[in-house]
Amino acid sequence: MARLLAAELAEWHRLELERLKFQRLAKDQAALQAPLEEKFLAYVQEKGGQERAVRSSGFLLKLNVKRDSVKWKDEFVRVVGEDGPAQAEALIAQQPSHDVLVIEAPSS
């Protein structure tokens, strides 16, 4: 295998620092959006009716139901055996769910 060059390591380090900077920026941006998303979520919950969706200024705001993910399913199925998949699905269906706001921008 070829030797690692100092220039390659320096380039990796530069790229890593840039990636971490963008990660921090994305986290900061998400924090700025969070209050608006909470407001939109409450609005759609109140005004969305049976469709759980609202159109406003060309945007479609809708609610999707999301269940919390489970990390134990594969191991559960392996241990339980033949009846495992059906039992796992029944248990997963009992997991708490919550609304997730989805916003679709108007097509240009």
The string of DSSP codes covering 14-64 is HHHHHHHHHHHHHHHHHHHHHHHHHHHHHHHHHH-GGGTEEEETTEEEEEE
Tally the domains of the chain.
Answer: 1
Domain annotation covers residue 74? no
Domain annotation covers residue 84? no
Which residue segment(s) compose the domain that 47 sits in?
6-68+96-104
Local mean pLDDT, 10-residue blocks, the chain (108 residues)? 88 98 98 97 95 96 87 84 84 85 92
Domain annotation covers residue 17? yes
DSSP H/E element including 3: none
Predicted pLDDT at 1:
67
Domain annotation covers residue 47? yes
Whole-prediction pTM:
0.67
Domain annotation covers residue 76? no
Predicted pLDDT at 18:
98
Predicted pLDDT at 35:
97
